[in-house]
């Protein structure tokens, strides 16, 4: 178990999507930490030379180990043993939880960034205050402009905005029903699915004034889940006697099925098209094992693909990081008995999610020395 006496140092800011994931995990587990903004001199002087780019969150342990990326931070503590493991023992729950984590950390980036920047005029004062608090007033404008510029590569435009907003409202309605019966997605404790989803649902959609007000008025049970996820321990007074384990027997709550259907409706064909693009990129460039996925460490995108979102044509940028996330589901399947693998594959097919896992492609994405690299298989 991690030390409960010496605080970890978490470099991040309150309005950061990925910092929110790590912060929620630390609070749930009762792991002492001190959150430090990127404006602190230590970030530029000691952390950035190691991670080779300006990116958050970054965890610095009391022993001086540096861990970059929210999911890697979670796995760092999972390997030590924690009270409330984020990974269900049930294989189907575990695989679906990773797919939901992908949905939250990747497929919901357009939702998060649209509501933050398309409605900038309506929430300028709040955003400016937050960015100035995190990076300093001198850099706030520069960072805000850079973030705003990401909308096109995320596929946010006049044609997709109505579907993005319809997707957010559908998600709120679905989750509001689920959280009336269950404190978390798979039962009595947060899973990796909850942590993946809380990223956009807290930092952008739960805090920024425009989407936050929609959440509070349309789906109060969802807002309560956001509060629950950001509280210490398990904040579940509405569920006396529920317990703190995942739903038994690898079962999937009936109230979760509409979420899984929405995910299947929304991640395809975009995910399929992105994977096909990377297949072609690997075939053309033949990168060596361990070669960085991009020319410079801060570059997250390797190209763009013509695809669609909820039936609307769109051009979307491609981050190989998506393979890094989904590989965790592949790895869980690979170590399971054949009968369990067949059961899960059938369950995924029944839910329209058969194509959600990368599967064997001759390559993967790994992280080495804090940088995403191609892994050749």
What pLDDT score does 4 carry?
Answer: 56
For residues 347 and 240, state if they share a domain.
Answer: no
Contact between 86 and 195 under an 8 Å Cβ cutoff? The reply is yes
Which of 212, 241, 262 is the endpoint of a domain?
A: 262
Provide the 3-class DSSP secondary structure of residue 180: coil
For residues 223 and 256, state if they share a domain.
Answer: yes
DSSP letter (8 states) at residue 240 = T
Is residue 62 scored above 80 in pLDDT? yes
Mean pLDDT of the chain: 95
Encode pLDDT of 17-40 as tens digits: 999 999 999 999 999 999 999 889
Is residue 16 scored above 60 in pLDDT? yes
For residues 96 and 71, state if they share a domain.
Answer: no
For residues 104 and 219, state if they share a domain.
Answer: yes
Contact between 37 and 47 under an 8 Å Cβ cutoff? The reply is no
For residues 256 and 299, state if they share a domain.
Answer: no
For the residues 81-100, what does the mean pLDDT come to? 98
80-94, 221-235, 294-308 — which is least confidently predicted?
A: 294-308
Which of 200, 228, 262 is the endpoint of a domain?
A: 262
What pLDDT score does 77 carry?
Answer: 98
For residues 182 and 291, state if they share a domain.
Answer: no
For residues 106 and 74, state if they share a domain.
Answer: no
d(C-alpha 151, C-alpha 67), whole Å: 28
For residues 15 and 113, state if they share a domain.
Answer: no
For residues 124 and 253, state if they share a domain.
Answer: yes
Contacts of 311 (CB under 8 A, 6+ apart): 163
Provide the 3-class DSSP secondary structure of residue 107: helix
* Counts for the chain of helices (H) and strands (E), in that order: 16, 8
Q: What share of the chain is helix, strand, coil (3-state, %, to 5)?
A: 55, 10, 35
For residues 287 and 318, state if they share a domain.
Answer: yes
Is residue 42 scored above 80 in pLDDT? yes
The parent domain of residue 280 ranges over: 270-376
What pLDDT score does 67 carry?
Answer: 98
Does residue 203 form part of some domain? Answer: yes
Contact between 74 and 21 under an 8 Å Cβ cutoff? The reply is yes
For residues 51 and 176, state if they share a domain.
Answer: no
Q: Structure tokens of 32? A: 């002492």
What pLDDT score does 2 carry?
Answer: 54
What pLDDT score does 3 carry?
Answer: 53
What pLDDT score does 23 carry?
Answer: 98
Enter the pTM of the model: 0.96
Banded model confidence at residue 135, pLDDT cuts 50, 70, 90: confident
Task: List phi, psi (to 5°) of 88.
Answer: -60, 150
Q: Which ranges of the chain would DSSP assign to H, the alpha helix?
A: 17-29, 41-42, 48-51, 70-78, 91-102, 109-117, 124-135, 137-148, 161-178, 192-203, 209-218, 220-230, 257-267, 270-285, 321-334, 338-350
What's 210's domain CATH number? 1.20.1050.10
Is residue 302 scored above 60 in pLDDT? yes
Contact between 233 and 28 under an 8 Å Cβ cutoff? The reply is yes
């Amino acid at each position: 178990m991690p030390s409960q006496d010496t605080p970890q140092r978490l470099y991040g800011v309150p309005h950061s999507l990925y910092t929110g994931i790590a912060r929620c995990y630390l609070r749930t587990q009762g792991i002492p930490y001190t959150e430090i903004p990127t404006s602190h001199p230590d970030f530029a002087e000691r952390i950035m030379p190691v991670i080779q780019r300006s990116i958050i969150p970054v965890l610095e342990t009391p022993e001086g180990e540096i861990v970059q990326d929210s999911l890697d931070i979670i796995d760092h503590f999972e390997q030590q043993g924690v009270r409330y493991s984020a990974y269900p023992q049930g294989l189907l729950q575990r695989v679906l939880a990773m797919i939901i984590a992908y949905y939250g950390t990747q497929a919901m980036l357009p939702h998060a960034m649209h509501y933050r920047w398309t409605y900038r005029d309506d929430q300028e004062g709040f955003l400016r205050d937050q960015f100035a608090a995190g990076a300093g007033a001198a850099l706030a404008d520069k960072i805000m402009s850079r973030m705003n510029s990401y909308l096109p590569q995320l596929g946010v435009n006049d044609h997709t905005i109505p579907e993005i907003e319809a997707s957010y409202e559908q998600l709120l309605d679905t989750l509001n029903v689920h959280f009336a019966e269950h404190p978390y997605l798979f039962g009595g404790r947060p899973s990796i699915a909850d942590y993946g989803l809380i990223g956009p649902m807290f930092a952008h959609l739960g805090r920024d004034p425009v989407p936050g007000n929609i959440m509070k008025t349309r789906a109060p049970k969802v807002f309560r889940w956001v509060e629950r996820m950001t509280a210490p321990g398990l904040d579940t007074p509405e569920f006396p006697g529920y317990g703190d384990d995942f739903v038994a027997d690898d079962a999937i709550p009936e109230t979760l099925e509409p979420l899984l259907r929405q995910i299947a409706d929304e991640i395809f064909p975009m995910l399929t098209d992105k994977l096909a693009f990377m297949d072609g990129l690997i075939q053309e460039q033949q990168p060596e094992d361990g070669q960085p996925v991009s020319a410079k460490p801060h570059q997250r995108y390797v190209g763009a693909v013509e695809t669609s979102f909820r039936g609307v044509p769109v051009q979307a940028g491609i981050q190989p990081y998506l393979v890094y996330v989904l590989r965790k589901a592949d790895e869980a399947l690979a170590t399971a008995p054949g009968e369990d693998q067949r059961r899960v594959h059938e369950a995924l097919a029944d839910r329209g999610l058969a194509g959600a896992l990368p599967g064997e492609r001759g390559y993967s994405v790994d992280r080495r020395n804090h940088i995403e690299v191609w892994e050749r298989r």
